[in-house]
Every structure is written in C-alpha cells, then in structure tokens.
Amino acid sequence: MSLQEIHDPKDLIDDAEKYEMGEPMVKDVEAIYDVPVQISAVLGRSTMQVSQLLKLGRGAVVELDRKVGEAIDIYVNNRLVARGEVVVVEDKLGITMTEIVKSDKI
C-alpha cells in the first residue's frame, strides 16, 4: 500500500491485521532500507558568552561537560538513541555502542 493509496486511517489498521502477532513485516521494512539518516556522536557540550567565544583562537581549549572515559551520546536524526565509547578504526574514529536508549515514542 503506497502513501497515495491511503485515504482513510482505518486502511492502515486493516493492513496491519494481515500480520499475526510477532510475525516480522520484513517486506514492509525493506521499503525503508535506503532512506538516509544522519548520525551524530556528541562528545560533550559547553556554554559560554559571545564575548568569550570571540576571544577563542587557534590552540584555545574549550572545556566540555564530560569526563574522560564517560560515554558519549549518539543521535539519529537529532534523537538520542544510544551511548557509546570512541574507538579508533584503522586511521579513523568510530563509536562502540555500549547502551541503547529506550524511547517512549514509537
């Protein structure tokens, strides 16, 4: 069922009833496999006044609100989904996920 075919929200419920409880909707999920998402890993945050910001230059250090070794936040499309640790993968940085953050929203 395409979005253009959905005229009544009841159509979605009728379609969902085709699946038994717990039965994976693999073919329906495959339709979103190629949708791009933005993933961000946030090391920490800092707050400062504009006057302090304007004084920053090369070599300046901005102190973050995280301690060394503390988990970093991982966001998908600006929604917190996990926490993890920074790792080195060959010559690039990566993230090892250590915790999945449960969301009340579906």
Structural domains of the chain ordered from first start = 3-100 (2.30.330.10)
23: helix, strand or coil: coil
- pLDDT value at residue 105: 62
- pLDDT value at residue 67: 93
Residue-by-residue pLDDT tens, the chain, 106 positions: 444 444 555 555 555 555 565 566 666 778 888 999 999 999 999 999 999 999 999 999 999 999 998 999 999 999 999 999 999 999 999 999 999 998 776 5
DSSP code for 60: -
- pLDDT value at residue 24: 60
Distance CA 77, CA 68 (A): 26
- pLDDT value at residue 6: 44
- pLDDT value at residue 31: 82
pTM beyond cutoff 0.75: no
Could you give the C-alpha distances from 37 to 15, 77, 89, in angstroms and in order? 26, 6, 22
